[in-house]
Amino acid sequence: MVRVSDATSTFVQESQEDIQKLNNALLDLEDDPESSDAIETVFRVAHNLKGNFGVMGYTTASNLAHAIEDLLDCIRDDELAVTAERMDLIFNGVDHLAQMVEEISDSGETSTDPEETIDAIRASIEGGESASAETAAAGDEATGDDAVDTGRDIPIEGLADDIDLEALESDTAVYRAALELDDSGSPQVDAMFVIDAAGDEYELLRTVPTNETIEAGEFDAVFDAYVTATGDDADSDTVEAFFDDNRYVEGASVTDVTNDILDEVTADADDSDDADAESDDSAGGSSSVTHSSKEVESIRVDVEQVDQLYNQVEEMVTSRIKLRKIIEDNELVEAEDELEEHGKITASLQDTVLEIRLVPLKKIVGNFPRVVRDISRDQGKEIDFQMEGVDIEMDRSILNELGDPLMHLIRNAVDHGIEPPEEREEKGKPREGSIKLIGERERDRVSVTVKDDGGGLDVEKIRSKAIEKGVMSEEEVQLLDDSEVYDLIFHPGFSTTDEVTEVSGRGVGMDVVNQVVRGVDGSINVESEPDEGTEITLMLPVSVAIVRVLFVTVGDETYGVPIKNIDEISEFEDVDIESVEGRQTVTHDGNVYPLLSLGNRLDVPDSEPDEDDMVVRIKDSVRQVCLRCSDVMGQEEVVIKPFEGVLSGAPGISGASVLGEGEVVMILDVDTL
């Protein structure tokens, strides 16, 4: 992939955000064609896209966005009605724009040819109540002499705030260049080339109209540029010659406005004498205060820099663990205080970095309404799709993994969950089905739920498929309750549908969703009722990698168990042990917990059970089970590195951590143990 410039990267990011806004606003317009807010939003965003494509020199994309804007303009002026065919045309055009932005992101260029789509959009405009003639008339009117204020008579107030006044009194001069552009058909693009050249040659103070207005194409190919020149270049003829030589400029007229600015400064100083007498603090003038009080509230940070900073935090945490181990082994009491301070600094830096990495859920689900709209139209279904709580934030690495699983759940809900309108009517249900995506934050965990009011999961069909595929025997399947039957859909290759569709699955089942969610230390819960719908909830951490774990030994080996999963630690002799059908269980507060021997489960040598063993009871919300280990060795914050490749998704193990003098410790995943 070709590395694009910083300006192009910023353009790509902003364009992707605008395209998502446009898609969602178009859905609002399609749902309520009379909504003035919806039409104003889609028109504004489409107009912004057109201007940005033009400024960056992507003429083909700009032409497509221009055609979409013209069609929306006709709808806004009630010259054309909102119809399914026109909305399909607009959505098709937006899809082309999205594809072209992706191409720009990859190579800095576009290869998509949207001419057929442009022609179709123009034909729709021309076919609707002579809209094309009226639009052209409006366009001619907009390019008249009085349509746009070029700034020829704009005064120069405020320029003094942008320049060095002492320099004006010596060898620096300010010039206003009144510029008329060549007729190329893309005035905003030509203007930006002229502005860039002026900025390279001189100090460019401002343009009238502003850069933003010019970039948006809202001017009539004439504008003013204010520049300063020093020394040999401080001559109006030289500055005028510079602009005349620019191939994009048809004509230039340069005026020296230095004395006008100095006169303005003097007048402002006289007017402010009384105010200065009242308060010396205001001596800088109101304009100066306004400029200096503005603070930067946010910045764009390169993802690679954030990742690098995050890796350094991980290294600091590992270093702290090693340092503590050395101090404890050598009984260096005096160093304990310093280590404690080091820990506070590390923790503070860790929290800051984790906050930087947080990204709102809407970043990956913003296009879901459009997906539901397209699939439901293709299948002749009527679906009301709603999203709630999508402003909750999660670690960027988790969101990157979460996009495909959530998309799969949404597609499944549309394709298999919601019934056709006629079938819903026969069941006494509304023709329009409902799908909701709901995000909620609970301390350090996030739940994302996909809920539909469709046909629900067929328990008996799932049981039959499990027997047919050899997942379980008929006797074993019949012993499962409904919630356990639902878990069978996560078995590799398991599906209750008779054929793979292009919409959901494509041969990829819920096992992939489960694997991805487990891989980021998450879990899945499924609830369903016949003819009432299905609710699938993903429970996920807000951030990953650095967690507090309890170290346990099994024979001569050490393992880590996340503290957040542990409810209680007891000595083996203090717990109520019983044997049920040959298996040991622990009874606590009337509840029965299976007792798993880590030595047996992990096949650890020399780990025979002993009366001095310890029992770790896991929280019911994670898994109703107790773990038997040789000993408990304390707790520590560690950096967990998930396994990749063939070890990825290994049951019972979530990753590994480096401790002390390079010792590698496996971290247990108690849910899949």
Q: In the 3-class helix/strand/coil scheme, how is 548-616 assigned residue by residue? A: EEEEEEECCEEEEEEHHHEEEEEEHHHCEEEEECCEEEEEECCEEEEEEEHHHHCCCCCCCCCCCCEEE
Q: Which CATH class for the 546-668 domain?
A: mainly beta
Q: Which CATH class for the 6-142 domain?
A: mainly alpha
381, 433 Cβ separation under 8 angstroms = yes
Alpha-carbon gap, residue 264 to 422, rounded angstroms: 76
Q: Which helix (H) or strand (E) holds 59?
A: helix 59-76
* Torsion region of 665: left, alpha or beta (phi above 0 gives left; psi -120 to 50 gives alpha): beta
Cross-strand pairs, 560 = 551, 667
- Beta strands per DSSP E along 348-419: 358-360, 382-388, 393-395
Alpha-carbon gap, residue 432 to 424, rounded angstroms: 8
Cross-strand pairs, 586 = 577, 593
**What's the gap between Cα 567 and its chain centre?**
35
Phi, psi torsion values for 492, nearest 5 degrees: -50, 130
Domain positions in the chain are 6-142, 159-260, 303-357, 360-541, 546-668
- Furthest CA-CA distance within the chain: 102
Residues 6+ apart with CB under 8 A from 106: 1, 2
Q: How far is CA 384 from CA 387, 433, 527, in A?
A: 10, 6, 21
Q: Does 360-541 carry CATH code 3.30.565.10? A: yes
End-to-end CA distance of the chain: 41
DSSP string, 263-328: HHHHHHHHHTHHHHHH-GGGTT-HHHHHHHH---------HHHHHHHHHHHHHHHHHHHHHHHHHH
Residue owning tokens 């026969």: 426
Closest among 251, 202, 189, 231 to 52, alpha carbons compared:
189
- What's the pTM? 0.58
Alpha-carbon gap, residue 517 to 538, rounded angstroms: 7
Give start and end residues of each alpha helix (H) in 143-257: 165-168, 187-201, 211-215, 236-244
Q: Which fold has domain 159-260?
A: Alpha-Beta Plaits (3.30.70)
The DSSP letter of residue 661 is T
The CATH number of 303-357 is which of 1.10.357, 1.10.287, 2.60.40, 1.20.58?
Answer: 1.10.287
Q: Work out whether the CA dihedral 409, 410, 413, 416 comes out positive or negative.
A: negative
Judged by DSSP in three states, 351 sits in helix
**What's the gap between Cα 580 and its chain centre?**
50
Alpha-carbon torsion angle 178, 182, 185, 190, nearest 10: -60
Give start and end residues of each alpha helix (H) in 413-552: 421-426, 459-468, 474-478, 482-486, 510-519
Q: Tell me the pLDDT tens digit for each residue of 622-633.
A: 888 999 999 998
Alpha-carbon gap, residue 12 to 4, rounded angstroms: 10
Share in percent of the chain as helix, strand, coil (round to 5): 50, 25, 30
Peptide bond preceding 155 in cis form (omega within 30 of 0): no
Q: Which helix (H) or strand (E) holds 658?
A: strand 653-659
Residues 6+ apart with CB under 8 A from 274: none
Q: Which helix (H) or strand (E) holds 116?
A: helix 115-126
Phi, psi torsion values for 641, nearest 5 degrees: -105, 115
Cross-strand pairs, 637 = 548
pLDDT at 384 (0 to 100): 94
- What's the number of CA atoms in the CB half-sphere (13 Å) around residue 255? 12
Question: In a 10 Å sphere around its CB, with 0-12 CB exposed, 13-18 middle and 19+ buried, how is residue 180 labelled?
Answer: middle
Q: Which helix (H) or strand (E) holds 137?
A: helix 131-142
Residue owning tokens 């930006």: 192
Which ranges of the chain have pLDDT less than 50?
Answer: 1, 129-155, 272-297, 500, 505-508
Phi, psi torsion values for 580, nearest 5 degrees: -120, 115
pLDDT at 135 (0 to 100): 37
What the block records as the tokens of 268 is 């402002």
Q: Tell me the pLDDT tens digit for each residue of 135-182.
A: 333 334 333 333 333 334 444 555 555 556 555 656 678 888 999 888
Q: Which amino acid type is present at position 629? A: C
Count of CB atoms situated within 10 Å of the CB of 104? 21
pLDDT at 333 (0 to 100): 66
